[in-house]
Amino acid sequence: MSATELLKYQLPIENIVTRYASIDIETDGIDPSESQTVAIGIGLYDELNEEQSIDVLTYGGALGCERTLIRRAFERINEFEPSALVTFNGMDFDLDYLQGRITRLPFDGEPELSCTNHHIDLFRPRKRRASEVGEKWPSLEETLEAHGIVVEPTEWQGEELTNTIFGESLAPTYLQAVESGSQDRVQEMDRVIHKYTATDVAANISLYEADAGRR
């Protein structure tokens, strides 16, 4: 099996749906006990009505309240009433991280996503296949490239923004700006965060449509 074939996957029929949501989060770390949610990207897709929307909610947009950020994101998805949730490594990171934050924040009634009972993690089968043949687990970027899906990079301070740079540099700077009330700086970084997160959500949707044989 070639490297490209390793990254391609055909969804089983029960996981091919026409109305679904996608979620992608950005944080300042990977441990929910030592870090926090910075942004949540939401994709809503309706194949039958040919409708797609992508939105990004940020910590600054939630006026520095992480509880508000998470609750608004969950409400937005639940209102859409998707039949499935699509992620890339969402089982081991995005949803696991959010649950870790929810249990640590003083919520008055913990928010829940109604579609997690049908969670389609596009990373899981690729991770399993790579492990079976002794290859490294593929990144989202590598998987998109194997499908010929082109993604425009996001730049920050003159270099391409990556997960590492986001967590170690952009996120701490952004959170400090939010806490200090530096609105101009917050708005400037919000634009970068929005583009970066929205790009990942759009990539999730494109990859799902490819796996479903619709692209």
pLDDT higher than 80, residue 4: no
Compute the distance between CA of residue 85 and CA of residue 113 in angstroms, rounded to an integer. Answer: 9
Tokens representing 186 are 């917050």
Dihedral over Cα of 54, 170, 65, 87: its sign: positive
pLDDT computed for residue 195 by the predictor: 98
Compute the distance between CA of residue 104 and CA of residue 98 in angstroms, rounded to an integer: 10
Please state the pTM of the whole predicted model.
Answer: 0.96
Give the residue-averaged pLDDT of 136-142. 94
Nearest CA to 167 among 26, 40, 31? 26
pLDDT, averaged across the chain: 96
Cβ neighbours of residue 200 under 8 Å, at least 6 residues apart? 24, 41, 88, 140
Q: Which of 21, 71, 26 is nearest to 47 (CA)?
A: 21
Are the C-beta atoms of residues 138 and 106 closer than 8 Å to each other? no
Q: Is residue 59 scored above 90 in pLDDT?
A: yes
Q: Report the Cα 30 to chain-centroid distance in Å.
A: 14
Separation between Cα atoms, residue 163 and residue 120, nearest integer Å: 22
Percentage of residues of the chain with pLDDT beyond 90: 95
* Residue 1 confidence (pLDDT): 61
Fold observed for domain 9-211: Nucleotidyltransferase; domain 5 (3.30.420)
Q: Which residue is associated with the tokens 């950020």? A: 69
Q: Where are the domains of the chain?
A: 9-211
User: Would you state the pLDDT for residue 188?
Assistant: 96
Could you write out the DSSP letters of every residue in 92-129?
IIIHHHHHHHHHHS--SS----TTGGGEEETTHHHHHH
